[in-house]
Amino acid sequence: MASSTDSESQDRPDVSEAVSPSKIDPVILGHRLRYFRAAANMTLDELASQLGATASHLSMIENGKREPKVSLLTHGADILGVGVGDLLQPEAPSARAALEISVEKAQRSRHWEAMGLPALRVSSGTPTPVLEVIDGLTRELRRQSAEQAATPEEARRANVSMRKEQRERNNYYAELEQQAHELLAAVGHDEGPLSYHAIADIADHLNFELRFVSSLPHSTRSVTDLKNRVIFLADSRNPDHDPRSVALQALVSYVLGHGEPVDYKDFLLQRVSTNYVTAALMMPEKSLVKQLRQRKKDRDIAIEDIRDAYSVSYESAAHRFTNLATHHLEIECHFQKVHESGVLHKAYENDGVNFPVDSIGAIEGQAACRYWTCREVFDTSDRFRPFNQYTDTSVGTYWCTAVVEPSQSALFSLSVGIPFDQARWFRGADTAERSRSNCPDPTCCRTPSAELEAQWGGNAWPAARTNAHMLAAMPPGAFPGVDDVAVYEFLAAQEQFSR
């Protein structure tokens, strides 16, 4: 018996081939199967019998505890008189089903497990008000947990943990390199800058449409509509965001199976892995390593050559170099991104450099030594060529190369550093610039000289600039700073406009 949705399914594309079962939420799929079975007036036993399956197996599928084979879905759709696409749609089939799905998912979450509560069997006999109360309580617990987790201290601890893992792996992730390699192979790209056309080919390969709009929600750089398989990108001239990388980040996040982060650490892991694969797509491992090995042989490695060869920012090129330097070239290194005020924003090291840290080991917000290359570069007038300098520190001498890049609101220095004995592989290693840093000794650059103290001590009262994020749980635009209401209203408007 065909359901009343049969005519609708004729107008809706069959996504059985476009969507891999591994990308389908088994809980939603199970509820949709149960919905259409009930609409066809079939019992669990009757459908199982026609499918040649056991009722217990089918029950586990309907409860989202087992994923069905494509052949079973195809046969089941034929029996129920619907399209396979109807079973694979990513939304609940009814408001009641959406409530049941939400409660069932809540019981599988870390929050529920941490509370030690017994499992609640959700059935058709469970009163709707009971489900509404449970759903409301679990949503509020998740909100409070996210609020508590999204604190500056939690963010710093997550960053410390992330940097430790990066150091242990020399910032090289073979599994992520493989993901990038497979995507590039699928569109026939293996070297040179990744063009807009190639990115569109990757989107086609993943069955997504890329669409530029002028009305993205303020808190987002892109919005992915999984239901209609559209990725919306901002139609703007923001110099901070390369449209290629923003589009790739959205596609990569889908490929990696990312969902809503459960806490800041999860958010950070997702962001780092997404950025890693995006960089590996824009600067393919095989071709870049070949170039770097030749440059090392010629003693002429230069970060700006990576930037120019692949049409990326210096920051992206520097990050990518740290991915490959130790694993492929046996070169230890460090990277810093420093605000023009001297505050460290990002850093990585596996060469023993003594970054300034707070009591928990975090570097974010700490002041870089005034005599490091990352600070000295701001005093140079030549912004076309990198500034190179040797710096003697308490843990050894480092050669560093740095440039200054502007953002919308400030200037940042981006520097890559190498221990003295490995500097010979780099262009600019013959620099005569040299400096001395005694940090973390406060007398190095953080304590005024006796002369200045005598002249101005007690006679100055500066008004400190307060960053807005100091009064918030997290800096604007960071997890969990996305406005869900704005995002959902945007998607609803886009869907209505497309009809």
- Within a domain: 10: yes
* CATH code assigned at 80: 1.10.260.40
Q: Are 64 and 105 in the same domain? A: no
Q: Are 55 and 126 in the same domain? A: no
Give yes or no for residue 356 having a pLDDT over 60: yes
**Nearest alpha carbon to residue 420 among 408, 431, 407, 409:** 431
- The whole-angstrom separation of Cα 327 and Cα 449 is 44
Give yes or no for residue 5 having a pLDDT over 50: no
Strand partners, 398: 391, 419
Q: How confident is the model at residue 107 (pLDDT cuts 50, 70, 90)?
A: confident
- Within a domain: 11: yes
**Nearest alpha carbon to residue 428 among 439, 415, 437:** 415
- Within a domain: 114: yes
- The whole-angstrom separation of Cα 14 and Cα 105 is 27
Q: Are 22 and 59 in the same domain? A: yes
Mean pLDDT across 90-96: 86
Q: How confident is the model at residue 189 (pLDDT cuts 50, 70, 90)?
A: very high
- Within a domain: 41: yes
- Within a domain: 27: yes
Q: What is the pLDDT of residue 468?
A: 42
pLDDT, one tens digit per residue, over 438-481 is 998 888 988 877 777 777 777 777 775 555 443 443 444 444 55
- Within a domain: 13: yes
Give yes or no for residue 348 having a pLDDT over 90: yes
Q: What is the pLDDT of residue 17?
A: 38
CB atoms under 10 Å from CB of 368, counted, come to 26
Q: How confident is the model at residue 138 (pLDDT cuts 50, 70, 90)?
A: confident
| Length of the chain as a residue count | 499
- The whole-angstrom separation of Cα 162 and Cα 221 is 23
- Within a domain: 83: yes
Q: Are 79 and 47 in the same domain? A: yes
**What is the number of alpha carbons within 13 Å of residue 488 lying toward its C-beta?**
3
Mean pLDDT across 389-410: 92
Q: What is the pLDDT of residue 481?
A: 58
Q: What is the pLDDT of residue 209?
A: 92
Q: Is the model more confident about 244 or about 153? A: 244
Q: What is the pLDDT of residue 480?
A: 52
- Amino acid identity, residue 236? S
pLDDT, one tens digit per residue, over 140-184 is 777 666 655 555 677 778 888 899 999 999 999 999 999 999 999
Give the chain's domain count. Answer: 2
Q: What is the pLDDT of residue 260?
A: 77
Residue matched to tokens 């430790």? 164
Q: What is the pLDDT of residue 148?
A: 55
- Within a domain: 121: yes
Q: Are 72 and 106 in the same domain? A: no
Give yes or no for residue 11 having a pLDDT over 70: no
Q: Are 26 and 104 in the same domain? A: no
Q: Which of 149, 169, 190 is the last residue of a domain?
A: 149
Q: How confident is the model at residue 200 (pLDDT cuts 50, 70, 90)?
A: very high
**Pairing state of beta strands 222-225 and 387-393?**
unpaired
Which residues, 6 or more positions from 357, have their beta carbon under 8 angstroms from its beta carbon?
363, 366
Q: Which of 50, 75, 93 is the last residue of a domain?
A: 93
Q: Which of 132, 149, 166 is the last residue of a domain?
A: 149
In eight-state DSSP terms, residue 212 is E
Range of the domain at 50: 6-93
**If 0-12 CB within 10 Å is exposed, 13-18 middle and 19+ buried, where does residue 466 land?**
exposed
- The whole-angstrom separation of Cα 253 and Cα 248 is 8
Q: What is the pLDDT of residue 328?
A: 97
pLDDT, one tens digit per residue, over 255-287 is 998 887 777 788 889 999 999 999 999 999 999
pTM of the prediction? 0.70
Which residues, 6 or more positions from 318, have their beta carbon under 8 angstroms from its beta carbon?
303, 335, 414, 415, 416
Q: Are 139 and 109 in the same domain? A: yes
Of the ranges 2-11, 22-31, 70-79, 135-144, which is most confident? 70-79
The beta-carbon contacts of 450-454 under 8 Å, at least 24 apart in sequence, are: none
Q: Are 76 and 53 in the same domain? A: yes
Q: What angle do CA 371, 376, 380 make, to 5 degrees?
A: 155
Q: Which of 353-357, 359-363, 421-425 has the lowest mean pLDDT?
A: 359-363
Q: Are 13 and 89 in the same domain? A: yes
